[in-house]
Amino acid sequence: MVIADEKVVSIHYKLTSDDGQVIQESAAGEPLSYIHGAGNIVLGLESALSGKSGGDKLKVSVNPEQGYGPRNDALIQELPRKMFEGIDDIQEGMQFQAQSEQGTQVITVTNVDGDRITVDGNHPLAGQVLNFEVEVDSVRDASAEEIAHGHVHKEV
């Protein structure tokens, strides 16, 4: 079966940065499953997988425009500590989820200086070239319910 919209695709993958660091990879024997065409994975990888089928292997470099977007300095903000009410120990590297027009956004604390907390709303992988090594494990039709929900259900 060939990968096209409304197919459930399972892939093994490894994602590395341009300097060769492994950023993410699927666990051994546990491929990642997604619905093709539903925006479950980054656009550049989804396009590269169109037309492939089970057993195919590919390497694809996705630029930020087709990945997690360019870095945007306007998303770096300095906030007063009182905005973090209820969090006693704010530390560099902590991440929070915030709702925005683009959906769920991850905010990372990048600096703590007394009462001033610097946060970065860029996706941690924004501005990076994403180098994927992918092997297609399987392809099947998505069920009507999966298509309606926009995500994969566990196989019965």
| Run of H or E including 79 | strand 76-80
Q: What whole-number distance in Å separates Cα of residue 128 and Cα of residue 60? A: 14
Q: Per rule CB under 5 A, is residue 150 in the interface with Zn ion?
A: no
Nearby residues of 30 by Cβ (< 8 Å), 6 or more positions away: none
Minimum distance between the CB of residue 19 and Zn ion, rounded to whole angstroms? Answer: 38
Pick between residue 100 and residue 143 the one whose CB is nearest to Zn ion.
Answer: 143
Q: Which long-range contacts (CB under 8 A, 24 or more apart) does 90-96 make?
A: 90/117
Q: Which of 36, 101, 149, 155 binds Zn ion (CB under 5 A)?
A: 149
State the DSSP code for 82.
Answer: G
Establish if 57 lies at the interface with Zn ion (CB under 5 A).
no
143 binds Zn ion (CB under 5 A): no
Provide the residue type at 98 as one letter.
Answer: A
Q: Residues 95-134 vs Zn ion: string with x where CB under 5 A? A: ----------------------------------------
| Binding window for Zn ion (CB under 5 A); candidates: 25-33, 103-111, 118-126, 148-156 | 148-156
Q: Tokens standing for 69?
A: 């977007």
Shortest Å distance, C-beta 47 to Zn ion:
25
Contacting residues toward Zn ion, per CB under 5 A: 149
